[in-house]
Amino acid sequence: MIAGGAESALCRFGIAGFASMKALSTKFNNKPEEVSRPCDEERDGFAMGEGAGDAYHITAPHPEGRGAFKAMQLALKSAQITLNQIVYYP
């Protein structure tokens, strides 16, 4: 047996909630491919979307920190640096 489950905020109630908070972008309605601009001065909100990924629990991280560890490993690889090159000054 293959079983799965899903939850989606992309429904009229989810969109209406974010729209009433004025959190959704409206400046790029005619150019939806340009809505996602997290650090741009013309940013006026976000676009609703969905994604998927492995998760331990919907609201809690893995107790051994596997997701955070993997994210840090990928960040080091992407930055092309080693752990020894990171310095922390408290």
> pLDDT tens across 48-80, in order?
887 666 777 767 888 998 988 998 999 999 999
Are the C-beta atoms of 56 and 66 separated by less than 8 Å? yes
- Tokens linked to 60: 């809690």
Stated pTM of the model: 0.49
* pLDDT one-digit tens code per residue, 8-39: 778 899 889 999 999 999 998 898 888 888 88
State the alpha helices, DSSP H only, in 4-90: 12-20, 66-79
- Domain total for the chain? 2
Based on the fold, state whether residues 45 and 73 are members of the same structural domain: no
Question: Is the same domain home to 10 and 52?
Answer: yes
Residues 16 and 32 in one domain: yes
Alpha-helix runs per DSSP H in 1-90: 12-20, 66-79
Distance CA 82, CA 59 (A): 31
Q: Are 50 and 10 in contact (CB under 8 A)?
A: yes
